[in-house]
Amino acid sequence: MADDVATLTELNERFIEAVRQGSWEMLEPILSPGFTYLDGNTGQTRDLPPYREMLAANPAPDLAIDQLAVHVDGDAAIVSARTASATRPGRHSRYLDSYQRRGDRWVCVHACVWRLY
């Protein structure tokens, strides 16, 4: 399980860096073809094509995370952290990404982000 936590921590770092850069090329290998995104503030869901457009249009170069938590249960896992941005001091969000082990690799199948008040 320690290897799984290390692997998922690395995938999370790659996911966050892809968001910082607005890079679909970096993010696509991490995502399942059936990936969906849920905006926890609006309830709007996006599958891959609209999520790719949103990512490219909204790079977040100063995105920072803390309070990282990784939980593995068999072939399922969740990764969660709190986010912050220098452009929004004092405002935080939280995300929860769901992963599934497929063969010898983990893929992100769902992500949700919401503001913290």
7-54 tens-digit pLDDT: 999 999 999 999 999 999 999 999 999 999 999 999 999 999 999 999
- Read off the pLDDT band of 2 (50, 70, 90): confident
Residue 30 DSSP symbol: G
Residues 56 and 33: beta-carbon distance below 8 Å: no
Residues 93 and 64: beta-carbon distance below 8 Å: no
- pLDDT for the residue 113: 97
- pLDDT for the residue 49: 94
- Read off the pLDDT band of 67 (50, 70, 90): very high
Q: What is the pLDDT of residues 77-112, one digit of tens each?
A: 999 999 998 788 889 999 999 999 999 999 999 999
A 10 A CB-CB count for 74 gives 9
CATH number of the domain that 47 lies in?
A: 3.10.450.50
Question: What's the domain range around 93?
Answer: 2-116
The count of domains in the chain is 1
